[in-house]
Amino acid sequence: MGEIKVSPDYNWFRSTVPLKKIIVDDDDSKIWSLYDAGPRNIRCPLIFLPPVSGTADVFFRQILALTGWGYRVIALQYPVYWDHLEFCDGFRKLLDHLQLDKVHLFGASLGGFLAQKFAEYTHKSPRVHSLILCNSFSDTSIFNQTWTANSFWLMPSFMLKKIVLGNFSSGPVDPVMADAIDFMVDRLESLGQSELASRLTLNCQNSYVEPHKIRDIPVTIMDVFDQSALSTEAKEEMYKLYPNARRAHLKTGGNFPYLCRSAEVTLYVQIHLLQFHGTKYAAIDPSMVSAEELEVQKGNLSISQEEQ
């Protein structure tokens, strides 16, 4: 059994933060699963969107840390949607149900692409106040799978899992990264055929982000310098798309830095959200804001990066 799954932190998270299930579509088989933690008086929380292989709890370390600092954090798991428009419409209904007019989005890989598409979808009546895009992309053609996207729904579960696992790191990694991969494999095993097929369809069907529709949204691009499923070309394309974006680079972290480099990821999230403190779009309880504490955290980040 993986180290993360039996860790005290994970067990504490699962025992203290309830998993909610919400239906917002006419089709009652479309169920959103989510963890909503932190002060409910915050009306512009940070929402985490997982990658193809992820469930809502892959962000448990960010949820524990950020709620401890006074942030409201929501982590989601998607229902089965087969195209981007359907996803965006469902996500908008979910925000309406939660009575959230605007939100900050942290999207990992597919989650980052969907976050951009949702910002684009709602650009005339904005619902996204800012974006953090972790190991993400802006054009699905980079996967060279657009021609097979419409056949994923026919494939058996084992074949879909094999496709996803093909993007996991196969070379030597440090023990913490190995634990993160084990945990993600376990999460992947928990997904059903239709969940996986729909996510792969969203990941690969022909689509790209139209940056002119979301150019006014503050963006932080978070990526790693070591091996990940994202090509150098895909990263460069993101930098070109968002020339004014802040950049949060991690020396290592692979595909899942939020699990294996969680302290650094959490700090970069705090730095991103700091610009909204004192406004109605703050994701943190005003009584919990402490610039001095954040400076201490920045110092810790510098030390951890030097150690790497």
Q: What is the mean pLDDT of residues 277-299?
A: 76
pLDDT (0 to 100) of residue 288: 80
pLDDT (0 to 100) of residue 113: 97
Q: What is the mean pLDDT of residues 107-121?
A: 97
Q: Where are the domains of the chain?
A: 4-307
Q: What is the mean pLDDT of residues 254-265?
A: 94
In which band, very low, low, confident or very high, does the pLDDT at 307 lie, cut at 50, 70 and 90? very low
pLDDT (0 to 100) of residue 151: 86
Asked if residue 289 has pLDDT above 90, the reply is no
pLDDT (0 to 100) of residue 301: 55
pLDDT (0 to 100) of residue 12: 96
Percent residues over pLDDT 70 in the chain: 91
pTM of the model: 0.92
Q: Give the three-class secondary structure for 154.
A: helix
Strand partners, 21: 33
pLDDT 10s digits, 71-81: 999 999 999 99
Strand partners, 73: 37, 46
Percent residues over pLDDT 90 in the chain: 73
Q: What is the mean pLDDT of residues 13-27?
A: 95
Q: How far apart are CA 222 and CA 247, in angstroms?
A: 6
pLDDT (0 to 100) of residue 7: 94
Q: Is 169 exposed, middle or buried (0-12, 13-18, 19+ CB in 10 A)?
A: middle
* CATH code for the domain defined by 4-307: 3.40.50.1820
